[in-house]
Amino acid sequence: METSPLKLAVLVSGNGSNFQAIVDAIEAGRIINASIVCLISNKVDAFAIERAKKHNISSIVLDHKGYPNRQAYDAALVELLRQHEIDLVILAGFMRLLSPTMIDAFPNAIMNIHPALLPAFPGLDAQQQAFDYGARYTGCTVHFVDKGTDTGPIILQSVVPILGSDTVESLTQRIHGEEHRTYVEAVRLFCAGRLKVEGRKVLISE
């Protein structure tokens, strides 16, 4: 008996390269049982909207400036996602902190990727943080979103060495490459029903 594909929504604010990587993986059959139903951006000029158009994916601009506070914006976001019957929310460069209004509506069903090996270097400018600290290794982390900042249960991590010849820009570029691979794999595992959250740990079944 075939099941209906899981419905995914991707939230972006800018370029959307991780969105593109996930779209490509679905179209190539590397992620199965999944369909990106909509892309939602809080920025009308986000380049990710152009990416969505090329793949005939519905794009919606929900400008945060039209709402009095974060809770009101997130309530509108939740309503929009529920209208589309979304199973998994994917943050791909969505430059807004989510309120409990959003997180409570999709427990263990909001994914984010962070450009460092959490719990090291949370928050903004993680690549610069790792570079300035003199770390030998950094990378990226895909995690479920909870009510803290970059504190949710970790799904997958990938390691990127910091080379002596690196600049922040070259390091960021190499981390981006790992982000695309790691995020695709995390989404693939979710859509295959292989992720289970127990406390702080995400168990991956065979």
How do residues 106-116 score in pLDDT, each as one tens digit? Answer: 999 999 999 99
> Measuring CA to CA, which residue among 13, 19, 28 is closest to residue 51?
19
Which two structure tokens, joined as six digits, stand for 89? Answer: 């929310």
pLDDT tier for residue 3 given thresholds of 50, 70 and 90: confident
pLDDT of residue 2: 58
How do residues 80-95 score in pLDDT, each as one tens digit? Answer: 999 999 999 999 999 9
- Cβ contacts of 127 within 8 Å, gap of 6 or more: 115, 116, 138, 168, 171, 172, 175
pLDDT at residue 35 above 60? Answer: yes
Q: Which CATH superfamily is domain 112-206 in?
A: Formyl transferase, N-terminal domain (3.40.50.170)
| Fold of the domain spanning 1-106 | Rossmann fold (3.40.50)
Phi/psi at 52 (nearest 5 deg)?
-60, -40
Element of type H or E holding 10 = strand 6-12
Domain boundaries defined on the chain: 1-106, 112-206
Catalytic residue among 55, 64, 84, 114: 114
Indicate if 143 belongs to the active site: no
Across the chain, mean pLDDT equals: 96
For the sheet containing 6-12, what is the strand order?
Answer: 58-61, 34-41, 6-12, 88-91, 110-114, 137-144, 154-161, 201-204, 195-198
3-state secondary structure of 33: coil
Average pLDDT, integer, range 170-186: 97
3-state secondary structure of 130: helix
Pairing of strands 137-144, 195-198: unpaired
Same fold, 1-106 and 112-206: yes
Cα dihedral across residues 73, 24, 49, 58: positive or negative = negative
Pairing of strands 154-161, 137-144: antiparallel
Cβ–Cβ < 8 Å for 40, 77: yes
Q: How far is the C-alpha of 68 from the C-alpha of 57, rounded, in Å? A: 29
3-state secondary structure of 160: strand
Residue that the structure tokens 């179209």 belong to = 27
How do residues 146-169 score in pLDDT, each as one tens digit? Answer: 999 999 999 999 999 999 999 999
Q: How far is the C-alpha of 140 from the C-alpha of 54, rounded, in Å? A: 28
pLDDT of residue 4: 87
pLDDT of residue 202: 98
Q: How far is the C-alpha of 159 from the C-alpha of 167, rounded, in Å? A: 17
